[in-house]
Amino acid sequence: KISMFTNVTNNDVFSCHDVDSIFQVPQILYQQGLVDVIFKKFNKMGYVNASQNWDTWNKIVNSLQNEGETISIAMVGKYVTLADSYVSVNHALKHAAASIGKKITIDWIDSETINGNVDALSKYNGILIPGGFGTRGSEGIIKTANFARERNIPYLGICFGFQLAAVSFARNVCNHTDANSTEIEKNTKNPIIDLLPEQEGVTDMGGSLRLGANEINVKPDTIANKIYGQDKISKRHRHRYEFNTKYLDEFAKKGMVFSGESDNGRRMEILEIPSHKFFVGVQFHPEFNSRPGYPEHVFKAFTVAANQN
């Protein structure tokens, strides 16, 4: 019927019916011969052995669908009413869990509502703070980061989660009780997070963030170096504010290490607390480097730590 009404030959019509996972879609299309048809259409005979490639993909799909033990993650953020707001982070966690033979459950928790009930986070194997902007819900994120640090619960902070983890540390460990980000409180006396120098005077907010891939130096003998296994990495960014390096020495004395930096040490990219089970924050967005079968390194390290918690 489809062939008749679309002027497409019968052999070129393929069924893409409902499946349990989107990762099964390539499998069912391959089984119907779609790859052969495409290569014939483009006169590409003698293409690479597809069956070998599909063995790898089948293993990936099986790992993503495994029924193993479950790791529970609390994702505390500002835009949780729409789960797809963090779709890249969600998938990065699933890739990481599958790589160690586990399933993952993610509870999306509104950072505006967590303030009075932060103890509810104690039941989770790990806590993740994704990216975000602005004042709303920021106090809930700061309290969440402090709760994870005090209770020794594995914590991963991404972008805004990196920044407010630093603010939380300043308030609760360095005794700067008024510490904040100038994005949240412009006139704070302790601007732990401040505007990027090149953003001074920028009035057009559209497309003027620090964007794209940047090279990061990872210090030796740090958690970050063990995670990435190399001294240089390239990661994608999207931010307007950064850690204020005036506080570097003070943070170091109190036990927080900045293990990744860029622009010849001008910008802090990775923070960690070596004495903690796993407390890592990254200014960049590692979720954009995660793929099925190839989880991004910091997500895998976080998931392993959460599994052991």
Active-site positions? 159, 285, 287
CB 262 within 8 A of CB 269: yes
The token duo for 298 is 């910091």
B/e letters for 71-102, b = 16+ CB within 10 Å, e = fewer, are bebbbbbbbbeeeebbebbbbbbbbbbbbeeb
CA 215, distance to chain mean position in Å, is: 18
Find the helix or strand (DSSP H, E) in which 105 lies: strand 103-110
Name the residue with tokens 């932060």: 118
Distance CA(126)–CA(74), nearest Å, equals 6
Burial (CB count within 10 angstroms: exposed 0-12, middle 13-18, buried 19+), residue 52:
exposed
CA distances from 171 to 143, 152, 168 (A): 10, 18, 5
Max CA separation in the chain (angstroms): 75
8 Å CB contact between 39 and 84: no
Packing angle, helices 297-308 and 87-99, rounded to 10 = 60
